Each structure stands twice: as C-alpha cells, then as structure tokens.
Amino acid sequence: MPKIFIDPGHGGRDTGAIGNGLLEKDITLFIALEINRLLQNEYEGVLVQLSRTKDETVPLEERTDRANQWGADLYVSIHVNAGGGTGYEDYIYNRLDDDSVTARIRDAIHEEVVKATGFRDRGKKKANFHVLRETVMPAVLTENGFIDRKEDAEKLNDTQFLRTVARGHVNGMARALDLTKNQTSF
C-alpha cells in the first residue's frame, strides 16, 4: 500500500506569498485537499496523510517528522511561486542525482502538471529546502504558478483550474508509483 504524504505549504500565521488578493496558504490547501480526494476516490490501496487539513500553523519540523514517523513512500509539498515570473517548476534535494528514484518521481509529476495546466515549463530544479532535506523518503516540492503575476493569479483564483493542477499531480504520482485504478472509478 503506497503511503503518500501531502504537504500544503504555509498555513495559519504563515500566509506564504501574497498577490492579486490571493494567499498562497489558501491555494495550496485547496490543491492538497483535491489531491487527497482524487487519490482516495480513484486508486486502490493508497494511504494519504496531509500535514494540515485546515488553515493552521504547522512547523516544518513537525511536517517532516510526521511523514518520517508514518513511513511515507512519497512526500509532496505544494507551493505557489512569487517574484514576477510565470509557470510551473519543481524541486528535489540538491544532493540527489538526476537518475535517482526521487528524480524519476519528480519527472513524472512535472510532466503531468505541465501537460494538465498548460503552464510555462520553468524546469526541474534542486534546492536545500527543509522538506526535501529532512525527509527519509523521496520528496518533491512543486511551485504552481506565480501569485504576483496577473495572468497566473487569474488561473489560481479559479477552483476549476486548481482542480486541474491537482489532477496533474495525481496523474504524475499514479504514473511514478504505478498506482492501481479503482474498478468503480470512471
């Protein structure tokens, strides 16, 4: 049974990026809850845990400790970018090789999110972020559009588009982890 830990970035006192009347913490939570719903409804034997299911402050250490203690097979941290760019990018820990298991999982998620959303492909990147460094399982951090760019923010303010972002993540996870579709799902 694959165990997937979904981490909607920020929350509570930590709003994350702000732009165009939107808060990153709200967008990441919506996407994460939708990912959970899709995984639970469409795939057999998948166990999902979220770092938060409402607007609350959860320290980074608590997020990674919970995933590690639970024995997750995959950690996916959902974020929204800022800084004037546009499009989608994702990260794995900077000490990993491009042919690592984590990189192969990231590649599948990356391809499916870009395909589903039509976001400009900003590339597959590496960083020394806490959630990538302190997890003992493969971990990917995704940056889904730019909250401070009008064109991206309009999409990020559309719940149907956010469902598409979630769908891309789920399609990538299903490919990477070889998840089995429920017989009853359509």
Cβ–Cβ under 8 Å, residues 5 and 67: yes
Q: What is the largest CA-CA distance in the chain?
A: 44
Active site residues: 143
Of 7, 65, 70, 1, nearest to 33 by C-alpha is 7
Nearest-angstrom CA–CA distance, 119 and 140: 18
Of 165, 156, 155, 176, nearest to 109 by C-alpha is 176
Identity of residue 87: G
